[in-house]
Amino acid sequence: MKKLILTTFYTMTLCSGIYYVATGESFVTMSQSVPLDQAEVERYLATEVMAPNFGGDVYTTYKILDTSTTKHEIYVWALIQEYVREGDRFETGTGMAGPLVLYVDREAETFTISGHESPRSGDYYPDDVRRMFPLYAELSVLPHPISLGEKLHDQMEQKLSRSQLVKE
């Protein structure tokens, strides 16, 4: 029994050491989180990531995949969509969906996002995801999660419904 416990301990230590060398993050930092201001994240996504091309309003929904206190980063899957009001309905304009790394300003006294990065498309996508995201978030991002996209689209439709009721 003692041998089994020692073997398990050494295996876990070896795995965590390899993970740290490969990613620069420890298992402890995976569970720590950056303090978030949801309104600031949404504002940043709606105003800084994508510009509307048709004069409409930009709506956004997102899911936080992970955060890193050591790197001051937030990893999200975002759906950002421009909607143009055409009479009594909304028409879609410019839009995007995908993973983003949001960089949190370390110097600011309040929660401020100082920039972002998204993986390049095509053959570059897997390498960029591996470089930019910690393992846990990477596992969420690489397979292009269809169910997550559907969930975010549903949330967007709810936001549009509420917005349409407010504007009428």
What's the length of the chain? 168
pTM: 0.72
Provide φ and ψ at 77, rounded to 5°: -110, 115
Rounded to the nearest integer, the mean pLDDT of the chain is 81
Q: What percent of the chain has pLDDT over 90?
A: 31
CB-CB contact of 77 with 62 (8 Å): yes
Tokens coding 22: 């490969």
What pLDDT was estimated at residue 29?
Answer: 46
CB-CB contact of 119 with 128 (8 Å): yes
Say if residue 77's pLDDT is above 60.
yes
Q: What percent of the chain has pLDDT over 70?
A: 79
The more confident residue out of 168 and 98 is 98
